[in-house]
Structure formats: structure tokens, C-alpha cells
Amino acid sequence: MSEIHAGTEQTGDVIRVRDLVTHYGSRQILNGISMEVHEGEIMVIMGGSGSGKSTLLRHLMALETKTSGQMTILGHNIDDLTMSEMSDLRKKLGVAFQGGALFSSMTVGENVMLPLYEHTKLDRATMDIMMRLKLEVVELGGFEDLMPAELSGGMIKRAAFARACVMDPKILFCDEPSAGLDPAVASALDDLILRLRDALGMSIVVVTHELDSAFKIADRMTVLDRGDILFIGTPAEIRRSSNDRIQKILNREPDTEEMDVDSYLERLTGEKAESDMYGSVQL
Amino acid sequence: MNESPIHPVTRTLDSIGRKTVTAVEEIGNGAVMIGQSLFWLVLGPRYGQPVRPGSVVVQMMETGIYAIPILTLLNAAIGVMLAIQGVYMLGIFGAENHVAVGVAFTIVREFAPLITGILIAGRTGSALAARLATMRINQELDALHVMGINPIRFLVVPSLFAMVIMVPLLTFYCDVIGLLAAGIYVESSLGITISAFFDQVTSLLSPGDLFHGLGKSLLFGVLICIIGVVNGASVTGGAEGVGKVTTRSVVQAISAIVLTDMLFAYLAIQG
């Protein structure tokens, strides 16, 4: 049973998802997700490996084709958009990918400037100033001439934030911002996310499995479990939840599943097996 | 109960069927890629996404200018090699003075486009496949999508445009280098001056011979680019996947070049 809290029908929703179902081949990944992201909030999407959180994020970024359901981004039903309308909508979205996804053939400055170069008619000097401003915001001032290969992991992520924010997007998506970073750098990135929200007033969607980071930055949290929403609510509400699976996540307990021995043997051998003597096994 | 194992013949047929479907799918992807490239080349400005001339120039430098030293070396060597063989074989019949006939036709109609195509496939086609594959794995292609930048317009069209222009130009350059090298050898071995050699060559060759080679090379350019892009974009896995698609793109491109060359030669003789 899922728990839904905290104002799900506000009018200031920048993202609204209804009954989103998606498959990879014959495997169903999302089983009818419904959720909203309110204007100006930081929504953290959490869940274990294989819970569907990355797939959900790719849908929110309009990078995947859904099986069924409806999705509205900044008031636009994405099914109704023409190619040029979708292109216009994308200019209002920023994404900081898990690995940064900086273009390795360009300098940090050129990476940050690319959206301006492609989508605006600004002169080079103005683009230079905007690029340097964004790099200052992420504390990378003076690094614009370096190549991405010359940056550390934390610096690459900050440069990715600068590029994601250079067009002043309405919604910023962050995929595992603190993954693979040491705690101090991860905490600095959390502060950066909060600062971006406060300074630029954007709505931010963060996918993470880092509990400390999630509770530090989230206004609301969505917890996914095997393609279903387990919980939507504030960090305080999630702490109070009596749901067993939520408590396991909060207490960092491993996800276990009951499986009968025949299914277990079938998974190991790839062949159907029959047994009536072992009962069930714990995986 | 265990299910009966799949019969080896069935498994082989299944494997052949899957590979056939994959091959047809890749050819279809290539055709779609060409269509989309033409779409963005022509209609890109209307959608606020014109093809940047700067990107095309960068690709032309990469594909064409930087390949000149190695192409010069290879084509000079082939020109000399053909001249050596021509002088030797025609010498058997006492007709070595007519060596320009064989050398001119062979270089202009066959060797210059073929060597240029093979070298560009190994050099630029593989680089294109590796670049796109790495970009896909690093989510750079997703980043382009999310930024509202069409990857085909941004990455493929400049490369395709550069190939279509530079491969025929390089082929023409290789015609000249191959003939020049052959002429130098002929002068040193038979005493026929280079100007006399080139007089023979120009009197023998028709514009049709030249355009036969250049037309082929244009087609080679398109094939190299599309094969590189289709392979690069279909990468799965990590670094190992990049290596696989890069190797596959070179093998496929060279095979496509040789088969197309054979088809061209056959059709030219029929015509």
C-alpha cells in the first residue's frame, strides 16, 4: 500500500504524471506512476536498484517513450507537442547527469556556453560573461579553459550544474548528484542544489539513493519500489511512516524477498525444477 | 520435468534469422540516418537549428587535411608499384613504352578511390564510430537531446557533409600523386619524361574515367559516415562495447567499399 501526503493537487505543479506505465521489451518497469512536482520545490526520488527511479527520471526529461499514461511538463501535455514545441520546452529544462556528460572535445567554458550558442543570438562577449557567472555560482571560476578530463569528479558535477543552469531553466533534473563523491564534496553539492533553488527559484528533481543527502535537500520525497510508488511526502512524514519497506530503507537494511525453492532452482539452473521437501529459501 | 533441448539445426537457423533481422535493421537505420541528415541540412534553419559551418570546417579538416600526409605516402607508393609491375609485364611483349595506359586507368578508375576510401574508413569512420559510442555511454547524446539540440544535426550532418566534399577531393589529389609518382619512376627507368608521360595520360583518359572514380568516392564517403554513425549509436556495454563497434564499423565500411567498387566496375563495363 502506498502513502501519499502533502498536497498532491496544487495548481502550481510544474510536472504532473498520471498512471505512467512503461516497458523495456516485455518487462514492465513502471506500474502506473502518478505524482506531481510543485513549483519551486526540491523533489527527491528515492528507491533501491531496479526500483525504476532512473527510468522515471528519463520519462520526466522526455527521453523515453511510455507505454501508457499522461505527463504534463510546465503545463504542456508532452503527447500533444510538435517537434519545435518540444524543442522550445527543452530549453526550459536543465539536466545534471550522473557522470556529468560534459563533451570531452570541448573546454569547460565551451560546454557551459553550448546551450547559449545553440539557442540564443547573444554575442560572444555576453555569452562569455554568462558562462563565467554560472561557473562562479558553482565555484569553478577560472576553470573555463580546462578540458573535462583535467577536472576531478566533484568539479565535473559542478560544471554539469553550471551547464544545466546556464539558460536559467524552470526545472532542473539531477541524476545521483552525490554518487561516487567523498562526503565533504557530496555535502558541498547538496548546498549547491539548495543555493540554486533559492537563488534562481527553479524547481529541482533529484534522483538519489543517498539518504543523508536526500533528507538534507528534499522538500518532498517520492519513494519507488519495484515500479510502484511506495510513499510521497515530506521528510518528516517519511520518518513517521510505519511502512515496513520504508523503515528498511531508512534503516539501511538489505532488500530481501521470499522465494520458493523451485523458483530459486529454476533461476540458478535456467530449467524448471520440482521440489516438495525444502519449503522456502531466503535470498 | 526438463524441457527437450533445442536442436542444433534449429539453433543455427535461429541464429541466421536473428543476424539477418539485425542486418536489415541496420540498413534501415542507415537509410533513416541519411533521410534525417538531409532533413536537418535543408530544414534545420526553419526549426532554429541550422547546421553550423564551423562544425563542417572542423570535420573537413579532420577528414581531409589531416589525412593528406598518409594518403600522399600510400598513393605515391601505389603509383610506383603499378609502374614497376607495368614496365615489367609490358616489357615481356616489348611494349613497356605504353605503361602509361595501364597505370592511368588503374589509378584514376580504381586505386585512388579505393585506397582513399579504405584509409578514410580506417581513420575517420572508426573515429566517428568510437566518438559516438563513447558519447552514448557517457550520456552526452542524452545531454544533447535534453538541451534541445538534435544529435543528428549537431554531430552527423557536419561529418556527412565533410565526407561528401572531402573524399572526392582527396581522391582527385590521390589521382595526381599516384600518376606523378608513377611518372617519376617511368622517367628514371625508361627515360620517358614526366611531361611526355602526362601527355600520354591526358590523351588516354576521358572526363568519364575521372568522374567514374570521383563518383565512386562520393558514394564511399556516404557509406563510411553512415556505417560509422549506425554502429556508434548502437553501442551497448562499456569500453568493450566501444571497441567492438569501432572494429565492426571499419570491417563493414571496407567490405561495403569493396563490394560497391565491384558493382561500379561491373556497371561501368556494361554501360
d(CA A225, CA A47): 6
Would you say the C-alpha torsion A190, A196, A201, A205 has a positive or negative sign? negative
Assess contact for B109 and B213: CB atoms under 8 A: yes
pLDDT per residue over B76-89, tens digit each? 999 999 999 999 99
Please report, in tens digits, the pLDDT of each residue of chain B (271 residues total).
455 678 889 999 999 999 999 889 989 989 998 999 999 999 888 888 889 899 999 999 999 999 999 999 999 999 999 999 999 999 999 888 889 988 999 999 999 999 999 999 999 999 999 999 999 999 999 999 999 899 999 999 999 999 999 999 999 999 999 999 999 999 999 999 999 999 999 998 999 999 999 999 999 999 999 999 999 998 988 889 999 999 999 999 999 999 999 998 888 777 6
Given an 8 Å threshold on Cβ–Cβ distance, is B3 in contact with A97? no
Given an 8 Å threshold on Cβ–Cβ distance, is B148 in contact with A83? no
pLDDT per residue over B150-170, tens digit each? 999 999 999 999 999 999 999
Percent of chain B with pLDDT over 70: 98
List strands edge to edge, sheet with A27-38: A27-38, A13-24, A68-73, A76-77
Percent of chain A with pLDDT over 90: 52
| Residue linked to cell 515530506 | A234
d(CA A22, CA B59): 39
What beta strand segments (E) does B29-188 contain? none
Helix (H, G, I), strand (E, B) or coil at B149: coil
Give the per-residue pLDDT at A226.
87
| A&B contacts, CB < 8 Å | 67
Given an 8 Å threshold on Cβ–Cβ distance, is B142 in contact with A83? no
C-alpha distances (whole Å) from A110 to each of A58, A127, B200 are 25, 10, 54
Number of residues in chain A: 283
Give the per-residue pLDDT at A255.
64
Output the nine-digit C-alpha cell for B125: 569512420
What beta strand segments (E) does A178-251 contain? 203-207, 220-225, 228-233
Whether the pLDDT of residue A156 is over 60: the answer is: yes
Give the per-residue pLDDT at A242.
84
Nearest to A87 among B142, B143, B148 (CB): B148
For residue A28, what are the β-bridge partners? Answer: A23
Nearest to A271 among B2, B139, B154 (CB): B2
Given an 8 Å threshold on Cβ–Cβ distance, is A63 in contact with B139? no
Helix (H, G, I), strand (E, B) or coil at B183: helix
ipTM for the complex shown: 0.80
Mean pLDDT, residues A26-47? 92
Q: Which residues of A touch B142 (CB under 8 A)?
A: 58, 61, 63, 95, 97, 101
Confidence band for A281, pLDDT divided at 50, 70 and 90: very low
Given an 8 Å threshold on Cβ–Cβ distance, is A271 in contact with B49? no
Give the per-residue pLDDT at A256.
63
